[in-house]
Amino acid sequence: MGKTPGKPCRRIAHRSAPAGLSIVELLVVVAILAALLGLLVPAVQWAREAVRATTCQNQVLHIGRAFQHHNETRRMYPTGGNEWWTPPNFIAGSPAIGLQQDASWAFQILPYLEEKTAWSPPGADDADRQAAAIAAKIPGYFCPSRRGPQSIRYASVNYMDGRELTHGLIDYAASNFQGDGVMVQAGSDREARPRRAVDLTDGLSKTILVGEKRLNLAHLGEWQQDDNEGYTAGWDEDTIRRTDLEPQRDYHGDEDGEERFGSSHASTFSAVFADGSIHVLAYDIDPTVFSSLGNIRDGRSVSDF
């Protein structure tokens, strides 16, 4: 008898494991990833700054509208306040208005920014109301490219009898310190009256109301000459800047903002004009043009330059 044939042998094929990346290939992959990351990070930073800049512009725009509402309601623009050492003043428990109000424009427009608690805070007496108003941190008064709402606390012998107070700060200033802009200085010893729209004879669309102000970033959150009394400071570089000086970008150093307009943005700052329009102005704007935009009645328009 023949042998019964057995099952045929099967050959099992063994696949070889894939070869790993060589050192050269790994370096290429790492280089590609690094290049992609190098492109992605600036793009993300640019996008974030674009959002912050837009937020800042909207805040300046709202400030301009508050000026307009103040003018429509009071038949005048707010004043620049009295002096840096004059806090908000109250008459019969209510904030004074017009030339009687010693605090800044930034305090005077609070009702039109839906900040009535800071405008007329509760308190046992006027001193408590003043302290509460001074301490308020108004979110719309801070450029997100620079900082969030911030305050500092200190005592000054020349301010409210040396009482230690918290001061809510501000990143925006009105035009201008020369006295030929929308701002006028208040005070019972002055022959002045608040500006009205009719006084802006160069045209509302050619007159700066408020813009971003330049600061020394090295001392944010610390006492510095133009960032200490805060948003309620009357006729002070905290709340008013010059248009006869070129605007400049924020910086790190030993001095303050030098009474200049400016910002933390790379090459521009935002300003709102008296007609309520928002403008993004370059730091290298012609100085003569910038000075003219701050002057309410020099008889020149931008087209003259």
- pLDDT tens-digit series, residues 173-217: 999 999 999 999 997 555 678 999 999 999 999 999 999 999 999
Centre a 10 Å sphere on the Cβ of residue 184 and count the other Cβ atoms it contains: 21
- Distance between CA 77 and CA 196 in Å, rounded? 6
- Distance between CA 264 and CA 267 in Å, rounded? 9
Which residue in this structure is represented by tokens 């790994």?
26
Paired tokens of 227:
């960032």
- pLDDT tens-digit series, residues 68-107: 999 999 999 999 999 999 999 999 889 999 889 999 999 9
- Distance between CA 126 and CA 120 in Å, rounded? 10
- pLDDT tens-digit series, residues 157-175: 889 999 999 999 999 999 9
User: How far are the Cα atoms of 43, 125, 247 from residue 201, in angstroms, in the given order?
Assistant: 44, 42, 24
250 pLDDT higher than 80: yes
pTM across the whole model = 0.84
Query: Where residue 48 falls among pLDDT bands split at 50, 70, 90?
Result: confident
More confident residue, 134 or 3: 134
Rg (CA), the chain: 30
CB 178 within 8 A of CB 296: no
CB 266 within 8 A of CB 42: no
